[in-house]
Amino acid sequence: MRKLFGYILSPLTIVAFFLALLIFHPLQWIAYKLFGYAAHKKVVDFLNLCLLRTFYLTGNRVIFINKQNLPIGRPIIFMANHQSLADIPPLIYYLRKYHAKFISKIELTKGIPSISYNLKYGGGANIDRNDSRQSVTELVKLATRMKENKWSTVIFPEGTRSKNGIVKPFQVGGIATILKKCPEALLVPIAINNSWKLTQNGFYPLNTFTKATWEVLEPIEPNGRPAEELVKEAEIRIKEALNQVAPSPLKGEL
């Protein structure tokens, strides 16, 4: 039945989603060229509010839970599991006061209305996966901006999306590079649940009447600990939140 409703309702979401991208592309250009970063960011924030609201056209629900008292004015590395492209708009919008920037493939900086423009000028890192030197350089530049501007970043340490919601092993490289340049950054895990179901049939039909949640978990103070240890702890906390692993003694020792 959900799939049947998907065939009926998906066109509404798809049209609304791409219409928002088309409308906000020139608005981003005007805001950035005439008024600078702050105005551009407000346009991007509102764009992503509109994008996540399009999910509701298929009867889906987006629930973002943040019970943590996270600091403003301190760099933060948000580490989330990655389930679908639907993960991104809620993260941008609900983490907007932390100026969270994304690490993206350089190919995405061309050809996509609104998204490509924001990736080019929004302050994130656009990496070439075939050029390790360029990738490290981009991450170092991002870490420098985080340190200087007290910005944050969102990283998907799995490296690729999980098609069934099962968390894949976290990779350390990008986080370790950022921590070397910005060691004061706070690490914050985010557990994303069921967003993979929104697109489990592809983009047509979209799934319907599904509840997806984004939950900000307890932050992790780096305190000079090895990046491998910090990333593993974040991975375990996310798996615990998603009921994919037995409770770990690591959490009780903190």
Could you state, in order of their start, the residue ranges of all structural domains in the chain? 2-253
Confidence at residue 3, expressed as pLDDT on a 0 to 100 scale = 83
Q: Are 86 and 55 in contact (CB under 8 A)?
A: yes
**How do 211-216 and 186-193 pair as beta strands?**
antiparallel
**How do 152-155 and 76-80 pair as beta strands?**
parallel
* pLDDT over 80 (residue 197): yes
Confidence at residue 248, expressed as pLDDT on a 0 to 100 scale = 52
Q: What is the mean pLDDT of residues 111-136?
A: 95
Confidence at residue 4, expressed as pLDDT on a 0 to 100 scale = 85
Give residue 249's pLDDT band: very low, low, confident or very high (50, 70, 90): low
Q: What is the mean pLDDT of residues 12-25?
A: 97
What does CATH list as the number for 2-253?
3.40.1130
Q: What is the mean pLDDT of residues 148-161?
A: 95
